[in-house]
Amino acid sequence: MRYNEYMYSGAEMATSIRLAPEISNRLDRLAARTGRTKAFYLREIIEGGIAEMEDYYLAAETLERVRKGKERVYSAAQVRDDLGLED
């Protein structure tokens, strides 16, 4: 869900975080140079980063299941054969 969808759904949540001084200064400079708010950039960073984090943890969970033998693994040859792609 993008920011504009939160704005209209009434589901926006306020939160606070502590940033290292160097990161806070960089955020301040970026906001000042572009005329955008720090909150705008924090939302953009979180929205972009959360998808990457979800992908990472889903992959890590799948890898753990593979290592424990709880997830079936197929070779490329098996997949091609199952899809009828073998010549």
The whole-model pTM stands at 0.56
Measured between alpha carbons, how far apart are the two ends of the chain, in Å?
Answer: 43
Task: Give the residues of the chain that fall short of pLDDT 70.
Answer: 1-10, 87
Query: What is the tens place of the pLDDT at every residue in 26-50?
Result: 999 999 999 999 999 999 999 989 9
Residues near 19 by beta carbon (within 8 Å), at least 6 away in sequence:
27
Taking the C-alpha atoms of residue 47 and residue 5, their distance in angstroms, rounded to an integer, is 12
Q: Distance between CA 84 and CA 56 in Å, rounded? A: 31
Backbone angles phi, psi at 16, to 5 degrees: -135, 150
